[in-house]
């Protein structure tokens, strides 16, 4: 029926219903005026309408909701599909549902996969898939799953395959950590399966952890050969050999995994064997790194990452991965397939060789007594006679000796089969001797220092874990999840990766989680606002929180007997003071151990805290001695006597934690909060040594009782350059530049040239450096090579002024617009945030070192700097007419407080023009810029992790929002000189719990 | 998980006709509904019935956030939920049909929610689904009304609100749509 006809029918139907049944005949005769078809249509509808029964009046929804809740959309046990009877549901994925079923004809168990209808409508595609799947199965390879039958029942297509007992690699990854040998074992078997398939001309196209089954006996089975063919669209313009993977699934229930596609696949180009090599590389990367090489919020973002972004270096995310493995994975993941392994067999050979070498080394290691406890108690106390390097060299020599001997003996064995037993005994003897040699060297060593050899593993990867600690026995991790304004407290059993919420989400901040020494209770601080916190205690496996103490600003640390703890209070006992306070664990008998007056203070910020020494005699705490200098100070518990332990201060130091043997302390510290890493500060020597040294930032310290496992939080950022015409968020485009990292992106990292080119920071080359590009990302060129951030292009377009740590400390540099002739302009150790005057003569910057951090200016040609302010300034900008200077600063005594005021002064005379207050932002500092007309000050405002630019009219009045971004933090922004383009550094901050294991 | 702003954006995109946005929304809505429904059923196993609209509303607020909740988006959200329900039920019916066709003497059909899918056993969901597609060609609005009311569990009033039309219109359209569908299914 046509829509027009239907309109006519239903109008008459509606009208007819308004008449009494006995009057309808007359009405219809008139209304249909002789159109008998129309009349009978309406009459039949009326008959239908008047039938008994509810028809669809009762919604189907209730049952559907129940089905959803119970997960009962699957077939139940006992259902029959063809000659198969369903035993149980196994899984649901993008390519359909899988059941364990019984084949009643052959009386064997099978895995039955029911394909989604969306993929089986195209007969051509279906036939190609069948062909390929059968061909792969026919290879009879031990690592390729055997297909029994592909068939159709009604409109449903199904595949019956060999049933493999075990779990998928995806499931295994979710609950346990694979050793490197296990990882290699799996990769080798996948490679073996692919090699056989490729030889037969079959490409898998969808290698991913979901498609790899692990049998309990160690066998690996690769599933779903050819299945990817079903989800390809044939593009009409290109041949059918150039398929595009459909990222979403037909049913829409499960998002497909785009993370393992090769770049050519993501582009929709024709794929060959090398595409599978890439996918296998991605899988191996994930097993080893415990994170996917390419990730994005949406499949489209993931595809973009595959095409454009290099994964985080494996050596960085998996520090224990041997260099050879890193090389293999990197080679497999080359974006240009010409640079990858060309045949999977070569990859297979490399993996196999690496595995053999590692197994051999493991065997050797097992033959070497490694119990350090014995070493320490053997009591000889001899001075070390060999260095670590020497020891390592000896071990390697011993190993290669054994290696070559064994090899030659193996050859011998093959020649003289009869002498097998004798030869075997000889091999064992050689290994034992070599082991003895190493044993001797090992025993002559001092114990390896704490956290010298570490392994870093990721505990969470949601990006919103803001604090974490570990139980004294190392079995549990407690962490805080932050969901915008709400935070909740969680506990995880490390061995099972089971997570349980212990304190539900609330609009408060959780800080300073500490286990009681017996491990039974968890103490934590709740802050409903920034001012002060309340200490609570909760039985850590669940229970009711009990309030212990008020007015507390960080974590507590327990005395060794567990009866008392020490804590820090800010603004106590008087305003402007901070105090180290000792109290009984029930909160009674408070006693002040030490007081600091401004400008010194006990860092009462969220992730810092004191530490009570294992012998009970000392309390260690970080003291900020000036705004940007911090030391670790030891206080005697008995009489409060103090001693500075650090030989040289850090710019920033936060939490400290004694090592159980009192050989030193773990300290979170660095050249600024954005560079905070883990260190070991020796006791009593006060020497510092790095534990971590990477591009991330760390904050918490939770240490097990044996001092071997350290839970902490790692911060990383995903920040990119965006360009939006007319500052229209809807039209914003992300440029294909490298991720700048979160703290790497601190400060304004974008600037425009007079010719409307964009100067920005990117770490594309492996380090944060300054680049130039057209606003569409084209003509991209690296300008600085030894590190450079916060570039500012001079108004005349000649120079770029920037900040660099290439000499000692961070100072201000200048280079020509083409990157040539870099010149150091200042000599400070923390000179930051450069800006320029419109006459291109002056560089304004903030000096954050020394006792008096302030705003300074220096000539573009260098020379003596001139001081502008006598107080802390966060960032400053000069107005377009050169007459005014605007800067942000914190209106607080706390040196770590974020800026909350903008002051405008005359640039020449420094006289006050006006002053505005704004809401400080906790996550990223507020940045200011002048509007091009010089009439407003533009600044970034962050609300719930979304930043936008607001304009404050200089003449006064309320500020106005000018950009309308719906997500992302903004750490820098700039308008092009012609006012048409808006550039910003935008992205997100990722915070995750990691575990650092001391590998001594 | 998608941010509330992200979800709002997807709803807006979908409202503008972007089908890809719908595909991204579906799994989010599904998992949220599933989570909520499980909670409800656990708590209210006996006595209470599951209030479909309450459930969808809660899922909506949870996913989109009170702050971002706009009427227009909420309406789209209900529409998506209804579509989702339709898919689940129809897919299930299809599977069930497949399994019955291949039946044998060994079949032991367990009684599950699936068996009570629709209170009126005479309704063939697959046929209804096809008829509804037919109806959509003649009168898209009527098809949506049926989807919202039957699959989405909305009342006449709620349906009217979601579609932004009057109650009387919904009631009138529902009558003729229902009569037509019923006739088609016979």
Calculate the dihedral angle through the C-alpha atoms of A546, A549, A550, A555, rounding to the nearest 10 degrees: -100
Whether residue B52 contacts residue B1, with contact meaning beta carbons closer than 8 Å, is answered with no
pLDDT above 60 for A329: yes
**pLDDT single digits (tens) A580-622:** 999 999 888 999 999 988 778 887 565 678 999 999 999 999 9
Least confident range from A150-159, A469-478, A934-943, B109-118: namely B109-118
| Cβ within 8 Å, pair B98-A156 | yes
C-alpha distance from A227 to closest chain B C-alpha (Å): 20
CB neighbourhood size of A574 (10 A): 9
Bridge partner residues of A234 (DSSP)? none
Q: Check residues B120 and A360 and name the one with the higher pLDDT.
A: A360
| Cβ within 8 Å, pair A80-B103 | yes
- Probe site for chain B from A56, A92, A251 (most B CB atoms < 10 A): A56
Q: Check residues A552 and A390 and name the one with the higher pLDDT.
A: A552
pLDDT above 70 for A121: no
Mean pLDDT of chain A: 79
Nearest to B99 among A44, A68, A79 (CB): A79
C-alpha distance from A245 to closest chain B C-alpha (Å): 15
Element spanning B54, H or E: helix B52-64
| Cβ within 8 Å, pair A62-B172 | no
| Cβ within 8 Å, pair B153-A59 | yes
Element spanning A423, H or E: helix A420-443
Q: Please state, for a pLDDT cut of 90, what percent of chain A lies above it.
A: 30
Q: Check residues B109 and A660 and name the one with the higher pLDDT.
A: A660
pLDDT above 90 for A539: no
- Backbone φ/ψ region at A987: left (φ over 0), alpha (ψ -120 to 50), beta: left
pLDDT above 70 for A445: no
Nearest residue of chain B to residue A464 (CA atoms): B1
- Probe site for chain A from B95, B134, B152 (most A CB atoms < 10 A): B95
CA of residue A711 relative to chain centroid, distance:
16
* pLDDT of res. A922: 59
Which residues in chain B touch residue A40, judged by CB atoms under 8 angstroms apart? none
The residue whose two tokens read 């150039």 is: A242
Whether residue A907 contacts residue A927, with contact meaning beta carbons closer than 8 Å, is answered with no
Which B-chain residues 110-149 have CB contacts (< 8 A) with chain A? 110, 112-114, 116-120, 122-123, 125, 128, 137-139, 146, 149
Q: Check residues A63 and A563 and name the one with the higher pLDDT.
A: A563
| Cβ within 8 Å, pair B106-A104 | yes
pLDDT above 90 for A192: yes
Task: Give yes or no for B44 touching A (CB within 8 A).
Answer: no
The secondary structure of A184-224 as a DSSP string is: HHHHHHHHHHHHHHHHTT-------GGGEEE-TTS-EEE--
Q: What is the mean pLDDT of residues A62-78?
A: 56
Q: How confident is the model at residue A236 (pLDDT cuts 50, 70, 90)?
A: very low
Q: How confident is the model at residue A1 (pLDDT cuts 50, 70, 90)?
A: confident
Least confident range from A256-260, A392-396, B75-79: namely A392-396
Q: What is the mean pLDDT of residues A373-378?
A: 34
Which residues in chain B touch residue A76, judged by CB atoms under 8 angstroms apart? 109-110, 112, 114
* Helix/strand/coil for A691: coil
Nearest to B85 among A53, A61, A966 (CB): A61
Cα separation, A540 vs A495, in Å, equals 17
pLDDT above 60 for B51: no
Query: Pick from B148, B126, B131: which is nearest to B184 by CA?
Result: B131
| Cβ within 8 Å, pair A65-B113 | no
C-alpha distance from B129 to closest chain A C-alpha (Å): 12
| Cβ within 8 Å, pair B6-A967 | yes
Which residues in chain A touch residue B99, judged by CB atoms under 8 angstroms apart? 75, 79-81, 86, 153
**pLDDT single digits (tens) A415-436:** 333 334 444 444 444 444 343 3
Classify strands A167-168 and A212-214 as parallel, antiparallel or unpaired. Answer: antiparallel
Q: How confident is the model at residue A93 (pLDDT cuts 50, 70, 90)?
A: low
- Probe site for chain A from B38, B97, B123, B138 (most A CB atoms < 10 A): B138
- Probe site for chain B from A2, A38, A69 (most B CB atoms < 10 A): A69
pLDDT above 70 for B101: no
* pLDDT of res. A996: 92
Least confident range from A27-31, A409-413, A660-664: namely A409-413
* pLDDT of res. A55: 76
pLDDT above 80 for A397: no
Q: Check residues A989 and A379 and name the one with the higher pLDDT.
A: A989
| Cβ within 8 Å, pair B152-A251 | no
Phi, psi of A920 (to 5 degrees): -70, 155
Least confident range from A9-23, A88-102, A154-168: namely A88-102
Longest Cα–Cα distance in chain B: 57
Q: Choose from A123-127, A330-334, A575-579 the range with maximum mean pLDDT.
A: A330-334
- Whether the bond between A599 and the residue before it is cis, its omega within 30 degrees of 0, is yes
* pLDDT of res. A448: 63
User: Which residues of A are catalytic, by number?
Assistant: 206
* Helix/strand/coil for A638: coil
pLDDT above 90 for A333: yes
* pLDDT of res. A94: 56
Phi, psi of A989 (to 5 degrees): -105, 130
Q: How confident is the model at residue B149 (pLDDT cuts 50, 70, 90)?
A: confident
The residue whose two tokens read 């050859």 is: A411
Q: What is the mean pLDDT of residues A187-211?
A: 90
Least confident range from A6-10, A58-62, A863-867: namely A58-62
Q: How confident is the model at residue A186 (pLDDT cuts 50, 70, 90)?
A: very high
Q: Please state, for a pLDDT cut of 70, what percent of chain A lies above it.
A: 79
Q: What is the mean pLDDT of residues A850-871?
A: 83
* pLDDT of res. A118: 54
Q: How confident is the model at residue A165 (pLDDT cuts 50, 70, 90)?
A: confident
Residue A444's alpha-carbon distances to A361, A398, A453, A721, in angstroms, are: 21, 16, 19, 54
* Helix/strand/coil for A561: coil
* pLDDT of res. A847: 83
* pLDDT of res. A618: 95
Which residues in chain B touch residue A729, judged by CB atoms under 8 angstroms apart? none
| Cβ within 8 Å, pair B180-A48 | yes
| Cβ within 8 Å, pair B128-A72 | no
Longest Cα–Cα distance in chain A: 119
* pLDDT of res. A229: 63
| Cβ within 8 Å, pair B5-A14 | no
A996 token code pair: 């650092």
Q: For chains A and B, what is the number of CB pairs under 8 angstroms?
A: 207
C-alpha distance from A210 to closest chain B C-alpha (Å): 18
Q: What is the mean pLDDT of residues A646-655?
A: 85
Least confident range from A31-45, A103-117, A926-940: namely A103-117
Q: What is the mean pLDDT of residues A834-859?
A: 84
Whether residue A651 contacts residue A830, with contact meaning beta carbons closer than 8 Å, is answered with yes
| Cβ within 8 Å, pair A65-B99 | no
Nearest residue of chain A to residue B95 (CA atoms): A156
Nearest to A76 among B110, B146, B178 (CB): B110
* pLDDT of res. B153: 74
Nearest residue of chain A to residue B82 (CA atoms): A61
* pLDDT of res. A444: 32
* pLDDT of res. A96: 67
Q: What is the mean pLDDT of residues A705-723?
A: 88
Calculate the dihedral angle through the C-alpha atoms of A383, A387, A392, A394, rounding to the nearest 10 degrees: -70
Cα separation, B178 vs A55, in Å, equals 8
| Cβ within 8 Å, pair A58-B118 | yes
Q: Check residues A12 and B92 and name the one with the higher pLDDT.
A: A12
| Cβ within 8 Å, pair B37-A65 | yes
Which residues in chain B touch residue A946, judged by CB atoms under 8 angstroms apart? 5
Q: How confident is the model at residue A293 (pLDDT cuts 50, 70, 90)?
A: very high
**pLDDT single digits (tens) A774-793:** 998 888 889 998 888 899 99
Nearest residue of chain A to residue B177 (CA atoms): A10
Bridge partner residues of A948 (DSSP)? A941
| Cβ within 8 Å, pair A49-B114 | no
Q: Provide CB contacts within 8 A for B174, sequence distance 6+.
A: B142, B145, B146, B149, B156, B159
Which residues in chain B touch residue A85, judged by CB atoms under 8 angstroms apart? 106-107
| Cβ within 8 Å, pair B52-A155 | no
Calculate helix-pair angle for B71-101, B125-138, nearest 10 degrees.
Answer: 140
Which residues in chain A touch residue B58, judged by CB atoms under 8 angstroms apart? none
Which residues in chain B touch residue A55, judged by CB atoms under 8 angstroms apart? 120, 123, 178, 181-182
Classify strands A80-81 and A642-644 as parallel, antiparallel or unpaired. Answer: unpaired
C-alpha distance from B60 to closest chain A C-alpha (Å): 15
Cα separation, A956 vs A936, in Å, equals 9
Q: How confident is the model at residue A65 (pLDDT cuts 50, 70, 90)?
A: low
DSSP class of residue A113 equals E
B173 token code pair: 């359209």
pTM above 0.90, yes or no: no
Nearest to B151 among A45, A61, A78 (CB): A61
Q: How confident is the model at residue A877 (pLDDT cuts 50, 70, 90)?
A: very high
């Amino acid at each position: 029926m046509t829509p027009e006809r239907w309109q006519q029918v239903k109008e008459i139907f509606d009208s007819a219903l308004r008449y009494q049944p006995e009057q309808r005949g007359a009405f219809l005769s008139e209304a249909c005026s002789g159109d008998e078809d129309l009349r009978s249509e309406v009459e039949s509808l009326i008959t239908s309408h008047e039938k008994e029964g509810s028809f669809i009046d009762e919604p189907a929804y209730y049952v559907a909701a129940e089905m959803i809740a119970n997960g009962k959309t699957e077939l139940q046990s006992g259902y029959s599909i063809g000659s198969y009877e369903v035993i149980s549901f196994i899984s649901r994925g993008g390519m359909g549902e899988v059941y364990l079923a019984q084949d009643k004809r052959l009386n064997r168990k099978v895995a039955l996969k029911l394909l989604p209808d969306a993929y089986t409508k195209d007969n051509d595609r279906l036939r190609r898939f069948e062909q390929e799947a059968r061909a792969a199965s026919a290879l009879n390879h031990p690592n390729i799953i055997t297909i029994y039958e592909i068939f159709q029942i009604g409109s449903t297509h199904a595949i019956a395959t060999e049933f493999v007992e075990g779990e998928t690699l995806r499931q295994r990854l979710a609950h346990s950590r694979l050793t490197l040998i296990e990882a290699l074992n799996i990769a080798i078997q996948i490679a073996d399966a692919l090699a056989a398939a490729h030889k037969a001309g079959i490409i898998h196209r969808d290698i991913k952890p979901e498609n790899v089954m692990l049998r309990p006996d160690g066998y690996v089975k690769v599933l779903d050969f050819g299945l990817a063919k079903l989800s390809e669209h044939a593009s009409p313009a290109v041949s059918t050999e150039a398929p595009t993977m459909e990222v979403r699934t037909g049913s829409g229930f499960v998002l497909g995994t785009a993370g393992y596609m090769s770049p050519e696949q993501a582009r929709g180009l024709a794929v060959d064997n090398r595409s599978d090599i890439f996918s296998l590389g991605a899988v191996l990367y994930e097993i080893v790194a415990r994170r996917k090489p390419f990730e994005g919020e949406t499949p489209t973002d993931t595809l973009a990452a595959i095409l454009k972004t290099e994964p985080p270096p494996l050596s960085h995310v998996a520090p224990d991965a041997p260099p050879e493995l890193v090389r293999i994975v990197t080679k497999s993941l080359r974006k240009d397939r010409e640079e990858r392994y060309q045949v999977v067999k070569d990859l297979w050979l490399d993996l196999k060789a690496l595995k053999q070498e590692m197994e051999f080394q493991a065997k050797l290691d097992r033959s070497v007594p490694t119990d350090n406890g014995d070493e320490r108690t053997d009591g000889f106390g001899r001075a070390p006679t060999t260095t670590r390097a020497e020891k390592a060299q000896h071990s390697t020599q011993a190993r290669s000796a054994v290696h070559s001997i064994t090899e030659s003996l193996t050859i011998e064995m093959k020649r003289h089969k009869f002498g097998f037993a004798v030869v075997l005994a000889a091999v064992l003897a050689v290994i034992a001797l070599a082991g003895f040699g190493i044993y001797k060297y090992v025993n002559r060593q001092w114990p390896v220092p704490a956290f010298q050899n570490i392994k870093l593993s990721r505990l969470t990867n949601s990006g919103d874990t803001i604090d974490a600690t570990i139980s004294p026995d190392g079995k549990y991790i407690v962490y805080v999840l932050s969901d915008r304004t709400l935070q909740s407290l969680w506990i995880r059993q490390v061995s099972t990766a089971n997570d349980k919420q212990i304190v539900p989400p609330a609009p408060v901040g959780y800080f300073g989680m500490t286990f009681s020494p017996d491990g039974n209770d968890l103490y934590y601080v709740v802050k409903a606002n920034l001012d002060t916190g309340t200490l609570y205690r909760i039985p850590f496996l669940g229970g009711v929180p009990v309030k212990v103490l008020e007015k507390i600003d960080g974590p507590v640390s327990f005395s060794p007997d567990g009866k008392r703890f020490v804590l820090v209070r800010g603004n106590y006992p008087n305003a402007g003071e901070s105090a180290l306070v000792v109290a009984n664990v029930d909160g009674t008998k408070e006693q002040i151990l030490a007081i600091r007056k401004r400008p010194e203070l006990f860092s009462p910020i969220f992730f810092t805290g004191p530490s009570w020494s294992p012998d009970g005699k000392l309390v260690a705490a970080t003291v900020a001695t000036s705004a940007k200098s911090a030391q670790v100070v030891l206080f005697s518990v008995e009489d409060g006597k103090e001693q500075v332990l650090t030989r040289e201060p850090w710019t920033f130091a936060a939490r400290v934690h004694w090592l159980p043997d009192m050989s030193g302390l773990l300290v979170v510290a660095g050249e600024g909060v954005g560079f905070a890493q883990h260190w070991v500060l020796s006791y009593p020597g006060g020497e510092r040594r790095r534990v971590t040294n990477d591009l991330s930032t760390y904050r918490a310290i939770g240490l097990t009782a044996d001092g071997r496992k350290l839970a902490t939080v790692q911060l990383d950022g995903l920040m990119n350059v965006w360009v939006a015409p007319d500052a229209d968020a809807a039209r914003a485009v992300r440029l294909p530049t490298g991720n700048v990292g979160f703290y790497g992106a601190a400060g304004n990292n974008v600037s425009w040239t007079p010719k409307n080119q964009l100067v920005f920071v990117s770490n594309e080359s492996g380090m944060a450096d300054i680049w130039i590009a057209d606003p569409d990302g084209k003509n991209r060129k690296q300008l600085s090579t030894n590190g450079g951030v916060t570039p500012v292009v001079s108004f005349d377009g000649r120079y770029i002024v920037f900040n660099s740590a290439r000499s000692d400390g961070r100072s201000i540099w200048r280079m020509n617009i083409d990157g040539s002739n870099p010149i150091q302009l200042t000599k400070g150790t923390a000179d930051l945030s450069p800006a320029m005057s419109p006459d291109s003569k002056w560089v304004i910057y903030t000096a954050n070192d020394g006792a008096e951090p302030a705003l300074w200016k220096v000539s573009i040609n260098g020379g003596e700097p001139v001081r502008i302010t006598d107080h802390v300034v966060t960032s400053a900008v000069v107005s377009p007419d050169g007459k005014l200077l605007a800067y942000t600063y914190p209106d607080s005594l706390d040196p770590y407080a974020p800026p909350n005021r903008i002051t405008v002064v005359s640039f020449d005379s420094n006289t006050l023009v006006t002053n505005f207050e704004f809401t400080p932002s906790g996550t990223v500092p507020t940045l200011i810029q002048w509007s091009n007309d010089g009439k407003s000050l533009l600044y970034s405002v962050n609300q719930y992790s979304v930043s936008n630019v607001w304009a404050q009219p200089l003449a006064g009045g309320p500020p106005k929002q000018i950009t309308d971004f719906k997500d992302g933090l903004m750490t820098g922004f700039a308008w092009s000189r012609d006012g048409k383009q808006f550039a910003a550094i935008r992205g997100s901050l990722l915070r995750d719990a990691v575990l650092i294991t001391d590998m001594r | 998980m998608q941010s509330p702003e992200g979800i709002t954006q997807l709803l807006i995109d979908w409202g503008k006709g972007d089908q890809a946005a719908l595909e991204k929304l579906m799994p989010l809505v599904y998992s949220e509904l599933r989570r909520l429904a499980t909670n409800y059923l656990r708590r209210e196993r006996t006595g209470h019935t599951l209030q479909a609209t309450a459930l969808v509303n809660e899922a909506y607020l949870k996913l989109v956030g009170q702050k971002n909740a706009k009427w227009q988006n909420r309406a789209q959200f209900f529409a998506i939920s209804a579509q989702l329900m339709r898919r689940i039920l129809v897919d299930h019916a299809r599977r069930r049909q497949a399994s019955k066709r291949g039946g044998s003497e060994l079949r032991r059909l367990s009684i599950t929610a699936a068996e009570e899918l629709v209170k009126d056993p005479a309704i063939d969901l697959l046929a209804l689904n096809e008829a509804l597609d037919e109806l959509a060609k003649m009168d898209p609005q009527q098809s949506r009304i049926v989807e919202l009311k039957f699959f989405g569990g909305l009342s006449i009033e709620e349906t009217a609100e979601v579609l932004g039309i009057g109650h009387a219109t919904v009631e009138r359209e529902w009558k003729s749509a229902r009569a037509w569908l019923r006739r088609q299914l016979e």
